[in-house]
Amino acid sequence: MTSVKEFRVDEPATADGLGRGRFVFTDAYSVFDWGQMPDAIPHKGASLCAMGAFNFELLEREGVPTHYRGVADPDSGRVVPLDEATAPPTEMAIDLTQVPDLPYEGPHAGYDYDAFHAAGGENYLVPLEVVFRNRVPVGSSLRRRREPADFGLDDLAGADGEWPDEPVDLPEPVVEFSTKYEQQDRYLTRAEADKVAGVADVEALESLARDVNRVVTDRAEAAGFVHEDGKIECLSVDGELRVADVVGTFDENRFSYGGRGISKEVVRQWYKANDPDWVAAVKEAKESVAGRETDDWRELCDESPDPLPPAVVEAVSDLYAAGANAYTGREWFDAPGVEAALDAAEGL
């Protein structure tokens, strides 16, 4: 099980071919890479499943290859297209690939990607996240790592060259690469990403990410959203890349609606404002793991997160449900409209 969804194997992948399995979306959530948090958000799992399936079917119609096979109808259990589901689905049928172990060899040697790829051969999950950005919101990590001038935005920078205090649209989408299976995500140079990717071609990964970004951005605009940023993961099988994991949800991507953000960022900001000791402890643990023989920073964290208050859980649940209704164009959930849900979330 990941921090937010269970992983079921019906037929395991082998060196010679893909397997079959399912994602089971739960109402668990994760922030700051902590893993499963102490409570749950009703309707979150079904919201993400519906949005992810909706986007996979859009991609397939656009000729973008994916590992998606349909959703499990809650009434019959049969795997069907999303529009044939009789209720909000929580299970997604997928093709499976091999996910080898990534050995950690200590602070000096780092992670052994050669061993990962030797085990994966020609059928493996690429150990990268391919990130695309259309906008630089206030909470974006890009603000810490790059300057406006890097993107031709000199006229928007302050006197000291820093980013302005509001979201900034990029002239063109930006694609970056980060690690997938290391204990802390690292953004990579193109050369580093090429080494981590194995036989998968970095240029092809970028092209696939740009195709996904275009499809999700167009759908978001049609539904009244702005698609700010997101990511994809990919499997490589016999030289072909396919989009894997889940695409275009409020956990994987950032959207805004009428100038207001609608994503998991709402929960992150609540913890920053209301549980700062835990947030600070997570940051300190991530920094202190450098140079140690262990790569698990959670072992070094001496704080645990507080549960969300019931009013916050309800507001965030409504936000996920309302957003999924609007994005997919189907009333899956009894939820307020997006603007009303955002009003309630802002009052937190």
pLDDT in tens, the chain (348 residues): 456 789 899 999 998 899 999 999 999 999 998 989 999 999 999 999 999 999 999 999 999 999 999 999 999 999 999 999 999 999 999 999 999 999 998 888 899 999 999 999 999 999 999 999 999 988 788 998 999 999 999 888 777 788 988 889 999 999 999 999 998 889 999 999 999 999 999 999 999 999 999 999 999 999 999 999 999 999 999 999 999 999 999 999 999 999 898 988 889 989 999 999 999 999 999 988 776 767 788 888 999 999 999 999 999 999 999 999 999 999 999 999 999 999 999 887
pLDDT at 217: 98
Q: Give the predicted TM-score (pTM) of the model.
A: 0.92
| Region of 121 on the Ramachandran plot (φ > 0 left; ψ -120 to 50 alpha; else beta) | left
pLDDT of 1:
44
- Work out the number of other CB atoms within 10 angstroms of the CB of residue 258: 11
* Spatial CA neighbour of 255 closest among 231, 225, 283, 234: 225
Per-residue CA distances from 275 to 26, 96, 281 (Å): 24, 38, 10
CA separation, residue 343 to residues 184, 262, 315, 316, 331 (Å): 34, 11, 9, 11, 20
Query: Dihedrals φ, ψ of 35, to 5°?
Result: 100, -160
Alpha carbon distance 92, 68 (integer Å)? 8
Phi, psi (5° rounding) for residue 187? -80, 140
What token pair was written down for 12?
A: 């395991």
User: What is the spatial distance between Cα 123 and Cα 121, in angstroms, rounded to a whole number?
Assistant: 6
Give me the sheet containing 91-96, strands edge to edge: 5-11, 19-25, 91-96, 68-72, 79-80
User: Exposure pattern of 209-241 as b/e (b: 16+ CB <10 Å)?
Assistant: bebbbbbbbebbeebebbbbbbbbbbbbbeeeb
